[in-house]
Structure formats: structure tokens, C-alpha cells
Chains A and B, each alone.
Chain A
Amino acid sequence: MMHNPSKVRQKIMKKWIMGLRSCSSSHENLSLSERRWIIKLSADLALASVRNGSRRWSRAIIEEASRNPDNKGLIQRMLGSGCDYRSPCLIPREGRSDGNGAGHVTKSMWVATSSKKIVKRCRRARRSNGRAPRRNEAASIAKRLVKKRTQLLKDFVPGGQDMDDVSLIEETLDYIVWLRAQVDVMRALAHSLPATTSI
């Protein structure tokens, strides 16, 4: 996963600051919330770009960000000019086993998962018709809980909506690790800067 955490963090830091610089040069007077938004966005993008699109969550972050037309400039600057979020420039450099491009994965995975859901629903309906009173209340309750939480997790992990459980957990794993790196980088920056407030 993270081969060299310090290098990774430095990469994230560099990209982030690069993005900040490019952004602040264009916008002079920003409100607090805007500044915050830019900082967070560029941090996320830095993280995603360092991850190099080999993970769904990184691609999802970039896709989400690029949906907002205001961010396009920033994205282009950070990820390299002439790189559209839909284009295969986000194809993973690290060899992932699925090795899909950005846009293709979404659609195919979505189709796969939605078809799975349909099949499951049919099966469940068929089964429940002939079933006697529930023998195992605890199991069903547990399953329900698990499902609820899986859904919650899908909300939190970017790009997790159209994923099956197994890959969701993998993505979460990866996401947690890299999110921690991002937090470290941001904290390092925050600590090194003087804490002057200017509002």
C-alpha cells in the first residue's frame, strides 16, 4: 500500500501547495469559507492524484470535484494541463488487477451491482413466500444492522456507492490509510504555520 510514507506525504504536500499557489494567484480576495473550501479541495485532489487513480475512491474524488465547473481550472492545474477527468489520464500507473479507466469502471460496476441487487431481490421474494415464521430473529436483525452500516460506509467512502461488500471493504482500507496521510500532511502544515487569524 504505502511504500514509503514520508515520500508519500511529501508528494501530497507538494501537490497541495502547488494547487494552493495556483489557486490563490487567481483569486485574491476570498472569504473564509471559500478559502477553506479551496484548501480542502486541493488537499483532496492532491491526495487523489498522488494515489494516481488506481483506486476507486481517488477517481471518485476527482470526478466529484470536476462536476463543479468552478473547480475545473484547479483540477487541470493540479493534475496536469490537458487532462480531462473523463480521459484515461487517470488510468492507474500502478498495475491494478482490474486496470480499468476512470469512466468505464463506474458504469460497468454500477450495472453489475444493480443487476446483482435485482437478482437478490427476486431470490428473496421467492424465498420469503414459502417461508415459515422466522426462526432466527437475531440473525435477521444482525443482517439488517450490517446492511445499514454498510450503506453508511458507502456514503462516507467516496465512490463507494456502487460497490459490493468485498471491494467496499478493500476501498475503505485503502482510503483510511491515505486519509491518515492526508491528515498528517495537513496537520504538519497547520503546525508549522503561525497561528495568526485574519478574518
Chain B
Amino acid sequence: MDEEGKIEQEKRDEDVVNRNSTHVWLNVPSTSANLVGVCNTETICREDFMGSGTSHSSAPMVDSFGRELWSRACDPPFENFGYCEASALNNSNISDPSGNRRIGPASFRSDGGWNPLPPMLKGGLYALNPPNMLPGSFCVPQFPTDSGFIERAARFSCFSGGNFGSLVNPFSIPENIGHYPVGPGPMDVFLSNCVKLGSELNVEAAEDVEMASKEGTSLGCTQENGEKDACIMMSRDAAEQGVGLSSNDSDEGESCGNRGGQANTPIANNAGGEGSSKEVGLRKRKRNNGKEAGGDKNKEAQGVGKNGGESQRKVEHPGSTSCKGTEKSDKRGAQAADPPKGDYIHIRARRGQATNSHSLAERVRREKISERMKLLQDLVPGCSKVTGKAVMLDEIINYVQSLQRQVEFLSMKLATVNPRIDSNIEGLLAKDMMMPRAGPSTLGFSPEMTAAYPQMHLLPPGLVPPDAVRRAIHGQTASSLPRARDHPQNLGRKGMKFKQEGKKKKKRKKRKTKKKKKKKKKKEGDSRD
């Protein structure tokens, strides 16, 4: 898509725009790159809609929507943007009263499920605004990664990721988890996507989006590009759902946090939020199941994307072809589309399905399994785009294996460190309580920093010499910590080295450790024999 295409669309949809007389804006710098980027956004949007088999009537909606996205530059209040979007999408609903429910992002139920939307949009767009305020050229965003990225950010710490797994397929956009947009550029685009995708979530997830975008806001508001990186890192971390962070990501996130001093507190809050939010997300998910069981369709009016909507409809209209298709694929076992969530309380036999109690139970069991698999998908890094039980299990096995190997390697390493295990323990306890940086890979790091300090008093007084504790608190190097015995000469140097290492080295180390531990294992096996 280039600017010419954009101009054509402008002319075509002028009437549509006129109809939507709300003040639309997007603080879009008039660089062509950005326009291209946004055009890409719009194009792919339309492709999505098209791809989902919608009629062309959705296209004007998209055009107007997209057009309004980038038609105005530097216009005032961003609140209107939310309304514009809402109105644009409302138009789509109006124009498609039959409800082309197969529209991906626009699969809103026409029964007035809009109410929860504006606040969420507001939240999202509040986040949208500050980055746009900043000058500078935006790099061309990679939309596919953004959508997947946003999707993950949207389901940040919310285990209703079951619906997100299904979201991936309708978009049929290849995701690349390894690619994260770095830099200030994609911020506005992906937040807008966040908003778009977020509208598909159910209410709880929408709250999470708001939370995520607010976090992004709090981070983005403080400073400029450096902070933006932190923001993006945080969002990325959020996208990985906290627990799902590999140490690499968390390392970078932490380094970003260290870079921007002001970011630490919001990151701390957010990380803490992330830490607890996994649980919250779990609880929310379980509640969500209960809700579905209750059949509260209006509450989930926003739908959860195609599959979510389908699952609702399946209970109501078992005759839909999509459900049949899903059932067939379900029977195949390793299928691409995840089966819809089971209703624990009230199970209905779908069309083409045996009403045998055994098969019902089978189906429930299968759905349980798929739910859990989705949870695991969020946990294991690099698995969100993987669908199918066999591949997922493969990844899980590899991950568990690698973790166990890491444990073995680390124990090996520790065994070689010092012949006298207990000699360092006094200093160690003090040091390690003060060194939460070393192990940040799960669930945020800043909570540790703050939580570590109060823990000091819990240590038995005999174990830790008070001087050591005091010095450790004040961040002294290892060399200053008194050791009962065995002062290795290079202790000071190594201590400094470790402290100043930073996360990149740890990353490299982690990669090396995996290779090393295999060698060491072999060595050890030989020595044992």
C-alpha cells in the first residue's frame, strides 16, 4: 500500500467519513514511512476481514476506520478517537446487521455489547497518545508481529488465552515471537492494534489490556526513547505473561529498567502486578468458565473472537456448520483450531456428535486437556504459535528437559566452586538476599529488590556477621564481605565482575551453560565410571 492507494481510498470513502462526523485524529507524523506502516495496518485489517469471508460491505468500514486513523494529523483530543472507532465499528455493525460473525476483529455481537468498550478504548488510547506526541520518525512496523505481540499483551497474565489461541488462526498472520519491535516507532501502531484486538476480548481480558496499556502509559509518559524501550520491553514482558518470560527477555527488561531510573517504580509495580496477575489471571479464567457455564451471554457480548462466538452459538444453535467442522477436526486429534471451551455444568451434545455419555465425557476431558495445554502454551516460551497437541508436548518436554539440565549443570558448577560448601554460606546468605538481580527470570525482578531487604532480619544472627549484612545492603563488592575461611584471591575481581556483568552476559552464559553442561555431564559420567 502506498500513498496513492491511500488517496484513492480517501476519495472513495469521503462520504463515509462525512457520515462519521466525529473528530478523528491520530497524531501521525507525516512521514511516508509511517503512513505506509499504517496503510499496511489497514490493508491487513481488510485482508483479515476478507479472509474471514465477510462481504465487501465490511470493507468500507475498514476503509473509513483506517482512513480516519491516518487522515488527520496532530488533531486534538484523543478521547474522540475512541468514539470514532466505536462509531466506525458501529457503522460496520449497522451495515452488517446479519452479523458477519466470521469477521475477526469486528466480531462484536450486535446486541449492544459496546458498553464495556469505550473505557477500554480510552485506556488504550490514553496509552496511544503519549507516544504519538513524541516527535521522530517511526520505523515501519511489522504488523504481523505487532498483532501477535498485541494479542499477547492483551492476554497479559490472563489465562483466557484459550481464546487467543483461536485468535491467531483467524488472522492467519504469521507471528514471529522472536521479533519484537524495538524503538519508538511501532508503539502507536501496536497500541492501536491492541485496542482493536482488545475489543474482541471478554471484559476481563479487556481490563487486562487496559492494565497493560496503562502500564505502557505510565512507562511511556515519563521520558522519551529510552523509556519507550523500557515500555516496550515491559509490554513484551507483559505479553509473555510474566511467568512465561525466559530469562533472556527478563534480562533485557531489567536492563531497560536499570537504564531508566524513573521506570523502575512503574516497572516494579507492573512486575509485581504481573507476578500476582498470573494467579489472578488463572482465577479469572476459572471464573470465566463459571460464567460461561452460567450462560451469561450478554456479559461476554464482545465475544472472544471467532471461536468464542462460536462456542456461545454452539450451545445455542448446534446446527452451525462451523461447529460441525470443528467437531470433525476435533475428532482428528491434532488439529489446528482449538475446540471451544467446554461448559462444565451444562453439556450439550452437538450436531453430528454421539449423545453417549461416554463421548460426552470424552469431549469434556478433551476440552480440559486443551485448556491446560493453552496454559502451558503461555508458560513455555516460544509456544504461542504452536498448535496441536503433539508439537506442544514436544516443546514442553524440551523445556522441562532443559530446565532439569540447567539444574544439573548448576549443581555441577557449584560443586566445583568450593570444596568447603559451608565456608561461604554466611556471606552467601547475606549476599544472595541482596542480589535478587541474579535470578529474575520469573515474575519480575523489582519486587525482589524491595522484598529482599526486609528479609534480612529473618536470618539467624549467628549465621551472618552484622558487618557483612550492612555492607551487603550498601552494595559492597564481594571482596569486602568477611569470609570465615578461604579467601580466594580473585574473589574481589570476580565479585565485581559478576555484579557488573549485566544481563547480556547472563544470557550468553545461559546459552553456553546448555552446551557446557552436556560436556560436563559426559565428563562426569566418565569420571564416575
Which residues in A have some Cβ–Cβ distance to B below 8 Å?
A: 1-7, 9-10, 13-14, 17, 20-21, 23-25, 32-33, 35-36, 39-40, 43-44, 136, 138-139, 142-143, 145-146, 149-150, 152-153, 156-157, 165-166, 169-170, 172-173, 175-177, 179-199
Contact of A139 among B333, B365, B447 (CB under 8 A): B333
**Least CB distance, A17 to chain B, in whole angstroms:** 5
Q: Is the pair B418, A198 in contact by a Cβ cutoff of 8 Å?
A: yes
Q: A5-B442, A24-B422, A186-B411 are in contact. Are A139 and B369 (CB under 8 A)?
A: no
**Least CB distance, B371 to chain A, in whole angstroms:** 9
A7→B218 CA distance, assembly (Å)? 27
Report the number of A-B residue pairs with Cβ-Cβ less than 8 Å. Answer: 230
Q: A136-B332, A166-B369, A181-B442 are in contact. Are A153 and B421 (CB under 8 A)?
A: no
Contact of B275 among A5, A20, A182, A183 (CB under 8 A): A5
Q: Does B417 contact A (CB under 8 A)?
A: yes
Chain A residues, CB < 8 A from B36? none
**Least CB distance, A71 to chain B, in whole angstroms:** 15
Which of A6, A175, A179, A190 gathers most chain B CB within 10 Å?
A6
Find the B residue at minimum CB distance from A10.
B455
Q: Is the pair B435, A192 in contact by a Cβ cutoff of 8 Å?
A: yes
Could you list some 19 contacts between A and B, CB below 8 A? A1-B282, A5-B443, A7-B451, A13-B433, A20-B422, A24-B420, A32-B415, A40-B408, A146-B333, A156-B400, A166-B365, A173-B375, A173-B376, A176-B403, A180-B442, A183-B403, A183-B441, A184-B441, A192-B431
Chain B residues, CB < 8 A from A192? 428, 431-432, 435, 438, 478, 498
A sample of 16 more A-B contacts (CB under 8 A), given A177-B243, A188-B439, is A1-B282, A3-B276, A35-B421, A43-B407, A149-B394, A156-B401, A166-B372, A169-B369, A170-B372, A172-B376, A176-B379, A176-B399, A186-B406, A189-B414, A196-B490, A198-B419
A23→B411 CA distance, assembly (Å)? 15
**Least CB distance, B59 to chain A, in whole angstroms:** 37
A17→B425 CA distance, assembly (Å)? 7
Q: Is the pair A190, B413 in contact by a Cβ cutoff of 8 Å?
A: yes
Q: A33-B527, A193-B428 are in contact. Are A180 and B441 (CB under 8 A)?
A: yes
Q: Is the pair A5, B444 in contact by a Cβ cutoff of 8 Å?
A: yes
* Interfacial residues of chain B within 454-472, with CB under 8 A of chain A in the complex: 455
Contact of A184 among B397, B439, B501 (CB under 8 A): B439
Q: Does B380 contact A (CB under 8 A)?
A: yes
Q: A139-B331, A156-B400, A195-B494 are in contact. Are A6 and B436 (CB under 8 A)?
A: yes
Contact of B400 among A150, A157, A195 (CB under 8 A): A157
Chain B residues, CB < 8 A from A36? 411-412, 414-415, 524
Q: Is the pair B397, A152 in contact by a Cβ cutoff of 8 Å?
A: yes
Chain A residues, CB < 8 A from B419? 35, 198
Q: Is the pair A39, B243 in contact by a Cβ cutoff of 8 Å?
A: no
Contact of A191 among B282, B488, B498 (CB under 8 A): B498
Chain A residues, CB < 8 A from B134? none
Find the A residue at minimum CB distance from B439.
A184
Chain B residues, CB < 8 A from A199? 416
Chain B residues, CB < 8 A from A21? 421-422, 425
Contact of B429 among A17, A32, A187 (CB under 8 A): A17
Q: Is the pair B407, A183 in contact by a Cβ cutoff of 8 Å?
A: yes
Find the B residue at minimum CB distance from A9.
B439
Q: A2-B443, A9-B439, A184-B440 are in contact. Are A194 and B495 (CB under 8 A)?
A: yes
**Least CB distance, A198 to chain B, in whole angstroms:** 4
Q: A142-B334, A187-B439 are in contact. Are A194 and B397 (CB under 8 A)?
A: no
Find the A residue at minimum CB distance from B430.
A192
